Amino acid sequence: PRNIDVLPTNPVEDEIADEIEPVITEDTHPQKRPPMQIVWRNIVYMSLLHLGAIYGMFLLPWAQPLTWLWTLATYLMNALGITAGVHRLWAHRSYKAKLPLRILLAFWNSMAFQNDIIEWSRDHRAHHKYSETEADPHNAKRGFFFSHCGWLLVRKHPDVKEKGKQLDLSDLMEDPVCVVQRKIYVPSVIFMCFIFPTFVPWYFWGESAWNAFFVCGLFRYIIALNVTWFVNSWAHLYGNKPYDQNINPAENFFVTFSAVGEGYHNYHHVFPSDYSTSEYGWRFNLTTFFIDCMGVLGLAYDKKKMSHEAVFRRKQRTGDGSEGFGYVVKPN
Ligand code: ST9
Ligand code: ZN
Ligand code: ZN
């Protein structure tokens, strides 16, 4: 059972707290989930992209070592465009960023091709606020496949649209970087997600454009997409719960490692405004390291971090007694 009535979760000052604080809601259409409307166009696109990525994986041994390095580099830019960009900065406002950093993160976000910043943030705020109800766009109660990618292949539940109307997105509408990214979204994706990753290995070290497209373009994109989706599927199903054992989101090591710090998902749902999305700092958390480096350069500031005391008290009150990824379980 969900046990969110024991909160307030969020002692720190948080200007969008109301947007993501879980609320207890009745499903508007209880018991009668409308029949799923499959969107065949998305199924065809996603299947083709995955086939191309699998082909790219088989091309890997024939690509040059520098191309492997570039694949890793594009993966990290893609990942940070999601984690440091749309997730921690725009959807949660867990820190503030100066214009040059926001522009960089918006470009990296287009490289990730996961919908524009405003749409992603809207779905994500709905995911936190209406977590695991029909109004959660990727409601994990509907199973692994639905929360992983099935939700992108069917029309949304009417509750997502109805309840989602209550979300305030004015902070995003007022950020010119978000507005411009939305305006130029399609060309920016074609360039950042496909042309730029293909061009660099071809131009600078003579990799074949064919290899570069399938490896640095499709293979990198689809791996990053599935890793992101794992946060919604796997990390909502498997892992331990040091902070609140009454909710499904969990601490999952594989997801944390591959999603550059985003698998501390039990912590994140309990303390959504913490810029580290974790009790810890740089531990398996490249995103926090990146934001801290930007802080040193003066480009990131006002980082929100929960106090040790608040975290400790919450663990005592609602945690399952485990620590970290569950390697240390406290005796009763
Ligand atoms: C993708 C996104 O992959 C992945 C997001 C993952 C999130 C992960 C979060 C985890 C934490 C962070 C971890 C980071 C880890 C990173 C690691 C990196 C390595 N609120 O959507 P429409 C209303 S995208 C309020 O068309 P349909 C609204 O009025 C992949 N209102 O619904 C809207 O109109 P408008 C590539 C809402 O028709 C209207 O409904 N992209 C909300 O049912 C219609 O909206 C794709 O594959 C809301 N939340 O269609 C495209 N939602 O927009 C996929 C809707 O005009 N999308 N409304 O205001 C689609 O094709 C469609 O959205 C659909 C649903 C078929 C899925
Ligand atoms: Zn979640
Ligand atoms: Zn979040």
Q: Is the ipTM of this complex over 0.90?
A: yes
Q: Report which ligand 1 atom has the smallest distance to the Cα of 225.
A: 3
Question: What is d(CA 307, CA 152) in angstroms, rounded to the nearest whole number?
Answer: 37
DSSP code for 240: B
Q: Does residue 258 surpass a pLDDT of 50?
A: yes
Q: 207 alpha carbon to ligand 2 midpoint, in Å?
A: 39
Residue 82 CB–ligand 1 contact under 6 Å: yes
Q: Report which ligand 1 atom has the smallest distance to the Cα of 224.
A: 19
Residue 226 CB–ligand 1 contact under 6 Å: no
**Residue 30 has what pLDDT?**
57
Q: What is the pLDDT of residues 280-312, one digit of tens each?
A: 999 999 999 999 999 999 999 999 999 999 999
CA proximity to 128, closest of 21, 232, 230: 21
**Residue 215 has what pLDDT?**
98
**Residue 18 has what pLDDT?**
58
**Residue 17 has what pLDDT?**
61
Question: What is d(CA 155, CA 158) in angstroms, rounded to the nearest whole number?
Answer: 9
Residue 223 vs residues 50, 71, 137: alpha-carbon distances, Å: 9, 11, 21
Q: 157 alpha carbon to ligand 3 midpoint, in Å?
A: 20
206: CB partners within 8 A, 6+ apart: none
End-to-end, the C-alpha distance of the chain in Å comes to 23
Q: What is the pLDDT of residues 163-176, one digit of tens each?
A: 999 999 999 999 99
Q: Considering only 76-80, 201-205, 306-310, which range has the smallest mean pLDDT?
A: 306-310
Residue 262 CB–ligand 1 contact under 6 Å: yes
Question: What is d(CA 308, CA 71) in angstroms, rounded to the nearest whole number?
Answer: 38
Q: Does residue 146 surpass a pLDDT of 90?
A: yes
Q: Does residue 22 surpass a pLDDT of 90?
A: no
Question: What is d(CA 220, CA 49) in angstroms, rounded to the nearest whole number?
Answer: 11
Residue 228 CB–ligand 1 contact under 6 Å: yes
Give the pLDDT mean for 76-96.
Answer: 98
Average pLDDT of the chain? 91
Among protein residues, the one whose CA lies closest to atom 33 of ligand 1: 161
Confidence grade of residue 14 (pLDDT, cut at 50, 70, 90): low
Does residue 263 sit in helix, strand or coil? coil
Q: Does residue 11 surpass a pLDDT of 50?
A: no
Give the global pTM. Answer: 0.91
Cβ 105 vs Cβ 291: under 8 Å = no
Q: Does residue 232 surpass a pLDDT of 60?
A: yes
Cβ 137 vs Cβ 156: under 8 Å = yes
**Residue-range domain boundaries for the chain:** 15-22+35-239
**Residue 98 has what pLDDT?**
98
Q: Does residue 177 surpass a pLDDT of 60?
A: yes
Give the pLDDT mean for 190-215.
Answer: 98
Give the pLDDT mean for 192-202.
Answer: 98
What is the full DSSP assignment across 56-119?
A: HHHHGGGS-HHHHHHHHHHHHHHHHIIIIIIIIIIIT--SEE-HHHHHHHHHHHHHH-SS-HHH
Q: How many CB atoms lie within 10 A of CB 284?
A: 18
Give the pLDDT mean for 245-267.
Answer: 94
Q: Does residue 31 surpass a pLDDT of 80?
A: no
